[in-house]
Every structure is written in C-alpha cells, then in structure tokens.
Amino acid sequence: MTKKVLTENGVQIHIIGAGGIGSNLIALLLPSLRNGIVSEQLGGITFHLHDADIVEEKNLVHQRFSDVQIGVSKVDALAEEYDLIHPSVRVIGHSTNLRHSKPLVNADIIVVAVDRPEPRRIVHSLNEVEWYDLRCGLDSCLILTHKTHFDDIERLTPTHKPASCQPDDAIETGNIQFGSALAGTFGANIILRSLMNRIDGKTNVPGPMCFSMNMGIVPVFLKTNNSVPFDQKPPTKSSEKWTEEEDDVLLKQAERGLTLERIANHHRRSHGAIWHRFLKICGFKKPLNNEVGE
C-alpha cells in the first residue's frame, strides 16, 4: 500500500523541545494514533518538532532514542521513526530553537517542553491558541496551560539559566529521575484528550497541575480565572539571594510536609521561587550554559 502524503491541513501541533519530556511525549502519543481513527476524523494531524540538539550518548538513559541515532538531530530521529505512522499523520522536524513566534503562525496546539524561560514566554504571549507548558524536576512535573491565570503564569516562570532535567551526577551515578517521563505522560494524555474533544466536544481535557510521584498533587496555583482561593501575602524578597540558613529551613519545612502556601508565606517569596529553589538544593546545583531540552 502506498502511503498518502498530506499537505499542510488538518490539525497542526507544534512541540518545542525533543528531549526528556518531548521525546517521551512523542513515543507515547504517536503510537496511539497508529490506526488513524482520530487523525482521519480531524482531516489529518501534522506534528512540527522544534529542537536544535543532536542525540548524545548521555541522552539514552532517559530520552527515547537509541545508540544508532547518536549524532543525529533529535527532531530528525523522531521524524524518521514516526512520520506517516499512519497515512494521515505527519511528523516534521525543524532543527532550530524557538526564537520568535513566527514558526508557530499556523499552530492549533502548542507544547513547550524546554527548560528555558524565553520560549515559554513566547508561547505564553500567544492569544487564541491552545498551548501547554510542560516542565519537570526530580520526580515531579508542572503543567501550565492557556487556561492558567496570568498571575500564576508570571510567578511560575522566573528568569533562570538553562538546566538539564537530570540532577548533577545523576547520569554518572545511575540515580536517574523520572519527572521528565511523568511530564511526557501527562502531556501525551492531554493532547490526545484535546484531539478527542475536537471530535466529540465532550471529552474532558485536564487543566493546570503540579504533581510529584512522592507527594502527589502539589498546590502551586494561587488563582483561577474566577477566584483567589488562597490568601497569599505578596512576595517581598524575590530579588534577594538565598542564604544557607534559608536553604536549611526550606528543607526542614519540606520534610515536615508543610504546604507550599505556608512555606512561601514564611520566606516571603513566590511559589515559583520556592519550587525552583527546592529543586536546585536537591540536585540542580550547576545550571548549564547551553540550551537544553527538558
């Protein structure tokens, strides 16, 4: 049977980042579309993958690549494996990092899965488009969506250097963390639910959430579009450096199981600052200078 190659029509999905989160998302979502039932009803689905990285040996322990793909562009490796998994499904690789919104002009759904604030903010700024911001750290994941309150988006998107989704020395010691796989799983489920909702208008699409495999749901969102459920004091120390004493207190508070609201109020810092600091002192101690996918 000759495979039919679709033109640019149907649903256009852009995935920014093909690392720990992006490759796991693709490896789960694309096989679920193999029979064509969903894609044919939508007039075809085209996935655009954006990432300038190539596959390295260190990626093989937590990303969905094989040793024969070492040295190959990540997006090309995924496109070669999954493009035309069904005649109505296309996967196109773009070996570039996202610098502006122009490549997303035709997007129906956008997934940003890189640990850099700049592409996240580009996606957040888009109006009237469905987007999902997938993040991870250690055994946890954080998901923002186009329905997340603007104040929460701003607070949870601080400026920081690029970082790997694995803690320092995790790959060398074998102590791999699976937050990236968790984020990829949640992301694959969200996208499939969204596609089904486009067909029947009834399927529930999960909303914003923060989830830890150890602690369960973590209440990091202060606001919804209609209410403010928590009486959170505004952060006053957002620009101050953390001290060793504060780090010790933060760890003790986490060990006691205090809520994020109480911890943030105590330190007078934002929820995003607490979350990122906790991840850093638990393993993310040397931010990378290169651009890294989650």
| Structural tokens at position 122 | 């580009």
Is pLDDT of 8 > 60? Answer: no
Q: Distance between CA 165 and CA 135 in Å, rounded?
A: 9
Give the whole-angstrom CA distance, residue 95 versus residue 186: 25
Contact 278, 250 (CB under 8 A): yes
- Output the pLDDT for position 222: 78
When comparing pLDDT for 68 and 230, which is higher?
68
Q: How confident is the model at residue 9 (pLDDT cuts 50, 70, 90)?
A: confident
pLDDT of amino acid 5:
44
Of 75-84, 188-197, 218-227, 285-294, least confident by mean pLDDT is 285-294
Distance CA 213, CA 110 (A): 26
Domain boundaries, the chain: 11-211, 223-281
Mean pLDDT value across residues 266-288? 71
Instruction: Read off the pLDDT of each residue in 55-59 and give the average, rounded to a whole number.
Output: 95
pLDDT digits (tens, 9 = 90+) for 152-196: 999 899 888 887 888 878 888 898 989 999 999 999 999 999 999
pLDDT in the model for residue 234: 53
Lowest-confidence region among 4-8, 93-97, 175-179, 190-194: 4-8
pLDDT in tens, 27-53: 999 999 999 999 999 999 999 999 999
- Measured between alpha carbons, how far is 138 from 278 in angstroms, rounded to an integer? 10
Tens-digit pLDDT profile for residues 196-251:
999 999 999 999 999 998 888 888 887 654 433 334 455 566 567 888 888 888 88
Q: Collapsing DSSP states into helix, strand and coil, what is residue 251?
A: helix
Q: Quick one: pLDDT at residue 291?
A: 45
Q: What is the pTM of this model?
A: 0.77
244-255 and 260-267 are packed helices; what angle lies between their axes, rounded to 10 degrees? 160
Q: What are phi and psi of 212, to 5 degrees?
A: -115, 135
How far is Cα 258 from Cα 243, in angstroms, rounded to an integer?
A: 20
Report d(CA 29, CA 191) in Å as an integer: 8
Angle at the Cα of 242 (from 237 to 244), degrees rounded to 5?
140
CB atoms within 10 A of CB 149: 18
Write the burial class of residue 71 (CB in 10 Å: 0-12 exposed, 13-18 middle, 19+ buried). exposed
- Pairwise CA distance, residues 288 & 119, whole Å: 17
- Is the model more confident about 5 or about 158? 158
Tokens of residue 291, six digits: 């651009």
Return the CATH number of 11-211, one of 3.40.640.10, 3.40.50.720, 2.60.120.10, 3.30.420.40: 3.40.50.720
pLDDT band at 294 (very low <50, low <70, confident <90, very high): very low
Higher pLDDT, 259 or 170: 170
pLDDT score for 6: 46
Among 139-143, 237-241, 255-259, 290-294, name the one with the lowest average pLDDT.
290-294
List pLDDT tens digits, range 111-131.
Answer: 999 988 999 999 999 999 999
